[in-house]
Chains A and B, each alone.
Chain A
């Protein structure tokens, strides 16, 4: 740059250093407009919810703690937990299987994932439910050799077992991709350093790789759990008395379809909120050592005081 007047820069004394100029943030008119529009819509929706008598809020809440509804709720929660547990275990096994150097093992894992992701869950559920039609007798024994134990498929595969198999095995296929992405996100240098310190494969996996992979694994797994909570409603087709099934049973008697569907929706919303909160704390736990600030939950963001002097959070290169 060419300095046309070299005198100016050097001649200020301490006294006439000007006040530092104030910083005026950009005015985001678009954001204001969006906020106003959203607020108006919110008010309209709330007003219609409160004033439209056909929502029948009294009926909605009178069934909220109904015994049959609560029974269904328990079944839904148990199904979600057990199916996700099966899904996570299968997911880890299949993810490790995919990474195996043995082509038979990795091929089998790929086949599993391909089959369960490639066919509709509803079909799989009905299929497990009707397994007896395909294999009337299930037995345990030595392949091509003697049978050790056997039983009728109809008594072994109860609707609940069919539901858990259907939901859990299907979930395993999706979880395996999530786990695999997590494992691959960990720098191979970590494994090498751990091996160089004398750790064994299992120790390296448990203490070094998995805890770091969890940061990548947990957010989508939270998603899967929340999706599973609602997917369990599919098993009402094989007569499992979960939340939706129970409510359907009630409204087929009373014809209060809309209020009862609102009742279940409220329960699903409530459970989802609980799961999201749990996910937040899990994520925070597995972020330790990370300098980037954690994503705050919605409410905390909404209530946070706007500090005009706040600097953008300091970021370190990772």
Chain B
């Protein structure tokens, strides 16, 4: 390692991903610095979710590299080759990357508090009391302190998604990935989740957010990246990409969603 500046939080170079013989991510290069909020936009089927899932190695990539905080997530480099890591090693690296899903995916057989402390205790071997104390602080922060002992199914969608964010944060991740976190919510519940995310961004969390909430992207994002058909079409500040898109595909997409 040379003593240069800290590496970018996420650095993707030439990422390709096939499903069977179907190439869905066709060479993506991008870089996210520490504390940056990147919003990823693009039409349905353009490969946004797939790319996001490659970042924490939920999907294996077929070519290229993705580094998170300078480390390859699923592989170890040895000379010219990438060797896939063992399940346990991948899990350890993955535990430092939080992920929030469109469908919340809370564990329905556990209370809210159990949802928050399960991974810290199981994966990090933290003391339950410690994890619990931090969990209560986080629930307070997302405005759900009184729901600690509730089961997820008794909560509204917006509340469930806020719990899901708190669950990811309780692992103290250095990076948060959001895959359309508000797309499954009733319109009146979208705001409460975006508020939490806005708060998180203001706090300096590095975030990659796949979203269709253009207003949120304009307000919170440092970078907006537009993807189509498995490639990055255009990337820049919200003012550039949303205010003055150069590429016709970006223009026609924005014309449809705005």
Contact = CB atoms under 8 A, between A and B. Distances in A.
Contacts of B122: 199, 203, 207
Contact of B56 (A196, A200, A203): A196
Contact of B105 (A192, A198, A286): A192
Given A198-B94, A291-B153, A189 B123 contact: no
A199 B87 CA distance: 9
Nearest to B86: A200
Nearest to B177: A196
Contacts of A195: 58, 91, 94
Interface string B132-144: 0000000000000
Nearest to B107: A208
B87 A198 contact: no
B36 interface: no
A197 B118 contact: yes
A197 B151 contact: no
Interface residues of B, number: 34
Interface string A190-215: 10111111111101000110011000
The A interface is mostly helix, strand or loop, or mixed, namely: helix
Interface string A275-318: 00000000000101111000000000000000000000000101
A190 B107 contact: yes
A316 B101 contact: no
Given A197-B168, A211-B109, A291 B119 contact: no
Contacts, number: 80
Interface in B90-145: 91-92, 94-99, 101, 103, 105-111, 118-119, 122-124
Contacts of B88: 200
B154 interface: yes
A194 B152 CA distance: 15
B82 to A, nearest CB: 20
A201 B118 CA distance: 15
B167 interface: yes
Nearest to B151: A289
B171 interface: yes
Contacts of A187: 103, 105
Given A197-B118, A200-B87, A316-B153, A289 B108 contact: yes
A317 B108 CA distance: 13
Given A207-B122, A211-B109, A212-B109, A196 B153 contact: no
14 contacts: A187-B103, A189-B101, A192-B105, A194-B119, A195-B94, A197-B171, A198-B94, A199-B122, A199-B123, A201-B87, A203-B122, A286-B109, A291-B151, A318-B153
